[in-house]
Copies of this chain bind each other. A is one copy, B any other.
Amino acid sequence: MRSNESILISEHSTPSAAFAFRPVPKNRISEDALAQLVDMIVSGEVKPGERLPGERELAQSLSITRTSLREALRRLENMGLAAVRQGDGIYVRDFRREANLDFINFQAGRGAALEPQLLLGMDEARRLMSAMVVSLAARRADASDIKELRRVAGECPPDGSPELLSGKWDYDFYLTIALASKNRAFVCLINTMKGMFATFRPMYSHLDEGRRESIKDLNLRLVDAIESGDERAASAIVEERMRQDMEDLAKRAQSPEKRKSKTRKAGVK
């Protein structure tokens, strides 16, 4: 028999290795095809309202089978990027006003370059929503929630460590807060944004160095605020911290020329 029952579907293996592996380069040809289709759409290579080639021809162009292409199309229309209609064809939608969070999550999850304007917007949304969730958690968290929060907060990797940069810990922490808020809608929201944590954390990593207080200590203080039920104090902590981060990000986005030969964007190229 295979693994059965009581097997948690955790996606982190972390075999105590010092390096953070990719969540698994899960090959799946439909994913690659999907990525190509998304690129075609966001790059403007195909415009909104336009009709794509038929599935047969499209599959041949991508050098895959129609079967695999169709699996990709299901997600493509699920992201709000395309409309597939039987007997008619595949139509490109206006991703600027019809795409949904699944699209953003997909882009962030594969490390695609997101437009600065979108990044700022997402960060703004993240900041506002985090404050909300924390506030709710402060109002409703019970003893077991606090215990769990403190446990996760205590597991926070040291500042600047690659484990922290992976964004996985951020996800765990916010998910725990959302669970404590007793609002399952926020839990779903956090899960939807899962792929984005890995995108944002590295952006602020350089800020962590100059911080007097370690991330772990800061968040432990946040848990204290939640435990005492002080909504204002709790939300203020995340508000203040994130506002600083965002302002810095905005500064860098607006005037990147001022950072001459300093850090040079760190790889990617």
Contact = CB atoms under 8 A, between A and B. Distances in A.
Interface of A: 2-9, 30, 47-51, 67, 70-71, 74-75, 78, 80, 83, 88-89, 91, 93-94, 96-104, 117-118, 121-122, 124-125, 128-129, 132, 136, 175, 179, 182-189, 191-192, 194
Contacts of A6: 49
Give the interface SS of chain A, mostly helix, strand, loop or mixed: helix
9 contacts: A2-B51, A5-B50, A9-B83, A30-B74, A100-B189, A104-B188, A118-B185, A121-B186, A122-B185
B74 A118 contact: no
A8 B71 CA distance: 25
Nearest to A83: B9
Contacts of A182: 121
Contacts of A75: 74-75, 78
A183 B182 CA distance: 28
B49 A121 contact: no
Contacts of A185: 104, 118, 121-122, 124-125
Contact of A49 (B9, B74, B122, B186): B9
B189 A49 contact: no
A233 to B, nearest CB: 19
Given A30-B74, A74-B75, A96-B187, 8 more contacts: A2-B88, A9-B83, A9-B94, A80-B191, A99-B191, A118-B185, A124-B183, A125-B186
